[in-house]
Amino acid sequence: MNETMSLNINDLVWAKMKGYCAWPGRIVEPSDQLNKLKKTEKSQCVYFFGSHNYAWIEDNNVYPYLDFKEQMVKLGKPKNSFDKAVGEIEAYMKNPAANDVIITPARKKSITKVRQSVASEDIPSVPIPDPVEENQGANHIESGEDETPKKVNKVIPVKRSTQKKPKQASSKKKKLEIDDSEEVVPAKRQRSIPSSPIARNHNNNNELSSDFSSSQKEYSSPVPRSRVARAVIDRPDIFSQSKPDIEELDVETITETLKSKNIKASSNKFGFIGLGIMGSGVVKNLINSGHDVCVYNRTHDKTKKFEKCGATVMLTPSDVVEHADITFSCVSDPQALKDTIFGQYGVASLPPELVREKGFVEMTTIDADTSKDIESALNDIGMQYLEAQIHGTKAQAEEGKLIILAAGNKTLFDSCQTCFEAMGRNSFFVGDTGNATKMNLVLQTITGITIAGLADSLALAEKAGLQTDTFLEVMSNTNLRSDLIMDKGLAMIDTRFSQINLPLQHMQKDLRLAINMSDSLNNPMPLTTIANEAFKNARRAGLNENDASAIYYRARH
């Protein structure tokens, strides 16, 4: 939806849910139950014609009905139910009163009905006690038309034990007043359970128990309390942020690296699917190097800044492939990629006559088997396929300094040379489909193990009383120095976990894919497995949407 458009109750719209085509609907007033399900502030409660149900739809996925009618009707599937929904909204437009089948539970009316029903009954102002048992005597409570139930209290003396018991705060009370209408359940004595295994005293000898526990303390070596307290105090306040800080990408500014390349843009039309952390930087350099680019992203808001710079925005992945000669794809994970290829309005759903001889370049980090499955599906409809794995960080993607590892169709690789030149500093063709994904996973394995080892080392240095910044400075002057270690080391020391350069969840995903590949080859990878578990532990601690350097938080605490 355009930012200048406003949405009001009873507006007729096209509303798009994830995984479905845009559907005719009407904005309605939500009920109390629907309000509990609301996820985001900028969303509308939409009633769907045809299916007669409701859903919260984000504003950027809601479009005015008449303005987008011609475009949406062409994309509507399945035809039977879609045509029925369009017929209902058209009938409603002609005669709203006769075709108003929308049922919206009104909150005020429902509350009024409840109050009226309560007022119409003769319900006493005091609560009615539960039925008492026969042995308690039913004559304690008498009720009549003009009487209210009377509360009868009785005093039960607390039975004292002959054994000595430790004094408690509650032992001062000798009598307990209870409601006769309630069932009396004797409280069980809670047994204290030691935090660590100790010898049990069966003879109730307090002296022996105390002597044994004191002997245990003599041989134990607990962590000093001051060190534990300092670790707790020094914890970074990273959980107070609702979402990690993501620096806004400046699409219009051309980097000095790109200027120095002097790229002569290809005459082909290029499409790009996925404007995430890596994809945004890649598309920026494609546009600024003079390439004709059309884009698609599941979240429509991310496409606006690229549209201002000259990119054409498409509504579906299939629209991108149909419009472009060569399409690049860079989405978050293998499942998102499969939805792009095989889902509704996916690339594989296009007729062969529209996509024959067109190229598809996959840049998502995936395994070799998934890459080959996609190649087979695209070859069936006449498309050429190339896997082009990108190795680098968010900053390198924005600067155009990525490393591209390509495999598959060599002709398509040659046709993409101007694009690869804009994206990175080097591109390599490594043979048949699958080789590029394997090589990229091996490189990511080294990256993940390095970051995990660096986190452990910095945590050890801190616990040993060393200055971590001094330690990192010393390491920068040794042969251990690398851009990766210095970048992640500084991020760990400064606790800049919310400044995402290499997403933690993507790092763990790559390690998992590498382990799966090693399993298929019966190749043990103990260090990679340990690093993978460390990243999984960090994700479980709530650091999923932070930078990979956030693994240091779990190593410290």
Q: What is the CATH number of the domain that holds 522?
A: 1.10.1040.10
Please tell me the total count of domains within the chain: 3
Hey, CA dihedral for 304, 305, 310, 314, is it positive or negative?
Answer: negative
Query: Tokens 């995990």 appear where?
Result: 452
Q: Supply the DSSP string of 211-252, one letter for each residue.
A: HHHHHHHHH--PPPHHHHHHHHHT----TT-SS---PPP-SS
Confirm whether 142 is domain-assigned: no
Residues 325 and 444 in one domain: no
Instruction: Tell me the C-alpha to C-alpha distance, in Å, between residue 93 and each of 11, 53, 89, 386.
Output: 11, 19, 6, 49
Identify the domain containing residue 375 by its residue range.
256-432
pLDDT value, residue 133: 44
One domain, residues 418 and 451 = no
In terms of domains, do 398 and 293 share one? yes
Whether 161 is in a domain gets the answer no
412 plus 469 within the same structural domain: no
Which regions in the chain score pLDDT beneath 50?
A: 102-155, 158, 167, 169-221, 223, 228-229, 231-244
d(CA 279, CA 274): 6
Cα distance between residue 302 and residue 138, in whole Å: 72
In a shared domain, residues 477 and 402: no
Residues 424 and 275 in one domain: yes
**Is there a single domain that holds both residue 260 and residue 369?**
yes
- Of the residues 43, 67, 94, the one at which a domain ends: 94
Phi and psi torsions of 198, nearest 5°: -135, 165
Which alpha helices (H) appear in 345-416, and where do they start and end? 352-355, 368-380, 394-399, 410-415
The verdict on residue 175 lying in a domain is no
Domain co-membership, 364 together with 491: no
Give the tens place of pLDDT for each residue, 367-426: 999 999 999 999 999 999 999 999 999 989 999 999 999 999 999 999 999 999 999 999
pLDDT of residue 454: 96
Task: Burial-class residue 262 by CB neighbours within 10 Å (0-12, 13-18, 19+).
Answer: exposed
167: in domain = no
pLDDT score for 163: 52
Domain assignment of residue 174, yes or no: no
* 223-270 residue pLDDT tens: 455 554 454 444 444 444 444 455 677 888 888 899 999 999 999 999
In a domain, 245, yes or no: no
User: Do both 382 and 467 map to the same domain?
Assistant: no
State the residue for tokens 């437009």: 93
Q: Give the domain CATH number at 67.
A: 2.30.30.140
Q: What is the DSSP letter of 274?
A: -
pLDDT of residue 518: 96
State the DSSP string of 521-541: TT---HHHHHHHHHHHHHIII
Both tokens of residue 127?
Answer: 């609560």
Looking at the structure, tell me whether residues 274 and 309 fall in a common domain.
yes
pLDDT of residue 95: 84
Residue 342's CATH number: 3.40.50.720
**Residue ending a domain, choose from 432, 452, 476:** 432
Same domain membership, residue 401 and residue 273 = yes
Q: Please check whether residue 319 lies inside any domain of the structure.
A: yes
Domain boundary among 403, 432, 461: 432
Is 469 found in the same domain as 374? Answer: no
Instruction: Assess if residue 333 is contained within a domain.
Output: yes
The length of the chain is 557
Q: Which residue, 382, 331, 334, is CA-closest to 359?
A: 382
CA separation, residue 6 to residues 2, 9, 11, 135, 211 (Å): 9, 10, 10, 70, 77
